[in-house]
A and B are shown apart, each in its own frame.
Chain A
Amino acid sequence: MDRKIRVVVAKPGLDGHDRGAKVVARAFRDAGMEVIYTGLRQTPEQIVATAIQEDADAIGISILSGAHEYCFKTIIDLLKQKKADDIIVFGGGVIPETDVPTLLGFGAGAIFGPGTPTTETIAWLEKAVAEKRAKEAK
């Protein structure tokens, strides 16, 4: 892989819990990725615009407020609308296991719940981006 992975780490909606997002963002950076951390209070529109503007490979959504179904669905629909749905969407936070299939059904690639080591998330993202780029090369 010549080009570094570019990943947006996003905090959608009103949720102010950013400890995890910042730890993950820093872990991504230490793993050699280029990270764009959005800060709090992002609307789905702002997150999608940032990802497109930054030519991101992926968006990592951090959400602990219970608003995950709305946030994931809206972000993924917007990406489709803007013909940017090649951007990988994944995330984590406080998301009940029973809701994960719904989010994956919307188009999320993976959900990393509480206790997930950052190494696991990094490994998954590296693989997902490699697969995406291989597909694009064809």
Chain B
Amino acid sequence: MQVTGSKRPATELNKEAEYVFEPKQLQEVAEGKKSFEAAVEKALTKHPERKEKFSTGGGIPLQRVYTPVDLEGTDYGKDLGFPGVYPYVRGVQPTMYRGRFWTMRQYAGFATAEDSNKRYRYLLSQGTTGLSVAFDLPTQIGYDSDDPMAIGECGKVGVAIDSLADAEVLFDQIPLDKVSTSMTINAPASILLAMYIAVAEKQGVPMSALSGTIQNDILKEYIARGTYIFPPKPSMRLITDIFDFCSRNIPKWNTISISGYHIREAGSTAIQEVAFTLADGIAYIEAAIKAGQDPNVFGKRLSFFFNAHNDFLEEVAKFRAARKIWARIMKERFNVTDKSAQMLRFHTQTAGSTLTAQQAENNIVRVAIQSMAAVCGGTQSLHTNSLDEALALPTDKSVRIALRTQQIIAYESGITSTVDPLAGSFAIESLTKQIEAGAWEYIKKIDEIGGMMTAIEKGYPQKHIQDSAYDYQKSIESGDRIIVGVNKFQIEEDMTARKLLKVDASVGVNQIKKLHEMKEKRDNVKVKSCLEEIRKAAKGADNLMPHILDAVRNYATEGEICGVLREEFGEYKENVVL
């Protein structure tokens, strides 16, 4: 996709602007480049390049050489500026990693709350600076461990949490006033947030002291991730209820992590990842404004979540472009004046889908390169995948290596000693502009369709993602795209030799036993009345959070609460787009 930066003829240039290069200089460079290219073309017959065309992983054509000409029309103050200053291209804090490293936040969770608690305490002892909870699929989809839909799934992809009783074990010996926690939970986010609040209460920690994030991004579930429960309208209501509750009660809580990670994992390009994520963001802002909330207030606590994929240059440019676009959207589209509400703060995860089952140790290298891109791109928080990502959940050893990767970059690589080190690179600034332009095109298109929610109904993002995914697979099978160890440099391997983490069926059996014992001990009359209050609130316009909090405190299970909400809200029917 050929996207050019702004190329205004010298006569149209604004005399007041601070252009990085004088038009006369650029003229000379352009002529020099012409001669350079002519000489190279001549030599190509004898010394051809490896390919006919070079492009980024996401398909943006790459020139042989970038020069100041590619920065023509760039006004330093307007287009780049300084870190911590609108439009935040160079970073959201003035000192970035000179002040504080990104949060090293490893996504973890499996089997029981005891097993996961042990892993969290291990990670904290090894230097992670924040927790990130992975829940199993029944928990993510609002089913208790004894639900028929949960058979075979209990504890497999994350920890099984049925009630506050499990949450108490999950955070045992973890001081919630000192540790920030991110929870990857979407449709039932309100319930897990309520459990977190209730556990903190038992530790004597008030809501106002809590710090953390809930993913709470239902739109990307419909687009790419699949752990939805309810239809769009009631889902948006739950989300805006959470925004409001947290604005009033939990000021340091990130109420949502608007995600592009999964959109990219599903196969999108870098430009699509930015565009669809920010378009989702627009939809959330509009919903909250419609619910009477002030974007200068709730906007401060929106956060984002991006992928760190293979193509180093494209990824660095991508993060910078995303900050610039979002700042402009907040300021110009939503008239947001609060500076922190204009800032795009994000967590990053290295791209799981790029890691291979073959010669898995190579994944350590892939993750290191991807992490460097995230750091050069100015991420606030980072999860690094483990080498056994394509095979199973990580062992203690493989997750430790993933964490050390972050620590080595932070302490040994030097890239954290100056802010936005790649700024001014002709290639990086050109790519930043091209990704920005490409993303704006998609955002405009989605606006024309009627916004993201309508676009999802029509299958628009899904179709684009799938087309990109299919192209990607074809490029591997044609040999156009090389994956080391998979379609080049393969070896014979005994794939059974590696020690992997395994979660067996006894986890489900024991979890169900614990669940039934807990249900007998609790005040079932109180639980019933709490559930009725939730039902009443669901039917009306009351904020659901206080009612969910009440039910959770009394050990209502997640499945019971979601059961009531399923009855009142209905269930989402997938729009199957193939």
By a beta-carbon cutoff of 8 Å, the part of chain A in contact with chain B is 13-19, 22-23, 25-27, 37, 39-41, 43, 65-67, 69-71, 94, 96-98, 113-115, 117-119
Does B477 contact A14, Cβ atoms closer than 8 Å?
no
Contact mask for chain B residues 146-174; partner A; CB cutoff 8 A; 1 contact, 0 none: 00011111001100000000000000000
Does A13 contact B153, Cβ atoms closer than 8 Å?
yes
> Measured between alpha carbons, how far is A26 from B141 in the docked complex, in Å?
28
* B357 on interface, CB distance cutoff 8 Å: yes
> Measured between alpha carbons, how far is A95 from B150 in the docked complex, in Å?
19
Does B469 contact A69, Cβ atoms closer than 8 Å?
no
A residues in contact with B266, CB < 8 Å? 18-19
Contact-size category for B: 35 or more
Does B477 contact A119, Cβ atoms closer than 8 Å?
yes
Given known A70-B151, A97-B495, contact A19–B353 (CB-CB < 8 A): yes
> Measured between alpha carbons, how far is A40 from B153 in the docked complex, in Å?
15
Given known A66-B156, A118-B473, contact A19–B578 (CB-CB < 8 A): no
Does A97 contact B496, Cβ atoms closer than 8 Å?
yes
> Measured between alpha carbons, how far is A37 from B466 in the docked complex, in Å?
14
New contact pairs (20) apart from A14-B140, A22-B470, CB-CB < 8 Å: A13-B152, A13-B153, A14-B150, A16-B227, A17-B226, A19-B265, A19-B266, A22-B466, A22-B469, A23-B466, A23-B469, A41-B574, A67-B151, A67-B152, A67-B156, A69-B152, A70-B151, A94-B391, A96-B392, A115-B483
> Measured between alpha carbons, how far is A48 from B154 in the docked complex, in Å?
23
Interface of B, helix, strand, loop or mixed by DSSP: loop
Given known A14-B137, A41-B574, A115-B358, contact A66–B151 (CB-CB < 8 A): no
**Nearest chain B CB to A86 CB, angstrom units:** 25
**Nearest chain B CB to A45 CB, angstrom units:** 11
> Measured between alpha carbons, how far is A67 from B156 in the docked complex, in Å?
7
Closest to A23 in B: B473
A residues in contact with B503, CB < 8 Å? 66
**7 cross-chain CB contacts under 8 A:** A14-B153, A16-B227, A22-B469, A25-B578, A41-B574, A115-B483, A115-B486
Does A19 contact B469, Cβ atoms closer than 8 Å?
yes
Contact mask for chain B residues 476-511; partner A; CB cutoff 8 A; 1 contact, 0 none: 110000010011000000011000101101000000
**Nearest chain A CB to B314 CB, angstrom units:** 20
A residues in contact with B378, CB < 8 Å? none
**Nearest chain A CB to B487 CB, angstrom units:** 8
Closest to A15 in B: B137
Closest to A97 in B: B495
Does A40 contact B357, Cβ atoms closer than 8 Å?
no
Does A98 contact B574, Cβ atoms closer than 8 Å?
no
Does B226 contact A40, Cβ atoms closer than 8 Å?
yes
**Nearest chain B CB to A15 CB, angstrom units:** 7
B residues in contact with A13, CB < 8 Å? 137, 149, 152-153
> Measured between alpha carbons, how far is A114 from B391 in the docked complex, in Å?
9
Given known A13-B153, A22-B578, contact A114–B496 (CB-CB < 8 A): no
Does B574 contact A94, Cβ atoms closer than 8 Å?
no
Does B357 contact A113, Cβ atoms closer than 8 Å?
yes
Closest to B391 in A: A96
B residues in contact with A71, CB < 8 Å? 152
B residues in contact with A66, CB < 8 Å? 153, 156-157, 392, 503
A residues in contact with B353, CB < 8 Å? 19
B residues in contact with A67, CB < 8 Å? 151-153, 156
* B576 on interface, CB distance cutoff 8 Å: yes
> Measured between alpha carbons, how far is A119 from B478 in the docked complex, in Å?
11
Given known A26-B470, A26-B578, contact A16–B225 (CB-CB < 8 A): yes
Does A96 contact B141, Cβ atoms closer than 8 Å?
no
Choose among A14, A27, A37, A115 the residue that contacts B149 (Cβ–Cβ < 8 A).
Answer: A14
Q: Which of B252-282 contact A (CB under 8 A)?
A: 265-267
Does B226 contact A117, Cβ atoms closer than 8 Å?
no
Does A98 contact B496, Cβ atoms closer than 8 Å?
yes
Q: Which of B536-578 contact A (CB under 8 A)?
A: 574, 576, 578
> Measured between alpha carbons, how far is A112 from B287 in the docked complex, in Å?
43
Closest to A9 in B: B578
> Measured between alpha carbons, how far is A98 from B391 in the docked complex, in Å?
11
Does B574 contact A65, Cβ atoms closer than 8 Å?
no
Does B477 contact A117, Cβ atoms closer than 8 Å?
yes
* B138 on interface, CB distance cutoff 8 Å: yes
Closest to A69 in B: B152
Does A40 contact B152, Cβ atoms closer than 8 Å?
no
Does B141 contact A94, Cβ atoms closer than 8 Å?
no
Does A65 contact B496, Cβ atoms closer than 8 Å?
no
B residues in contact with A96, CB < 8 Å? 391-392, 500, 502
A residues in contact with B470, CB < 8 Å? 22-23, 26
Choose among B151, B483, B574 the residue that contacts A39 (Cβ–Cβ < 8 A).
Answer: B574
B residues in contact with A118, CB < 8 Å? 473, 477
Does B574 contact A40, Cβ atoms closer than 8 Å?
yes
A residues in contact with B476, CB < 8 Å? 117
Closest to B225 in A: A16
* B390 on interface, CB distance cutoff 8 Å: yes
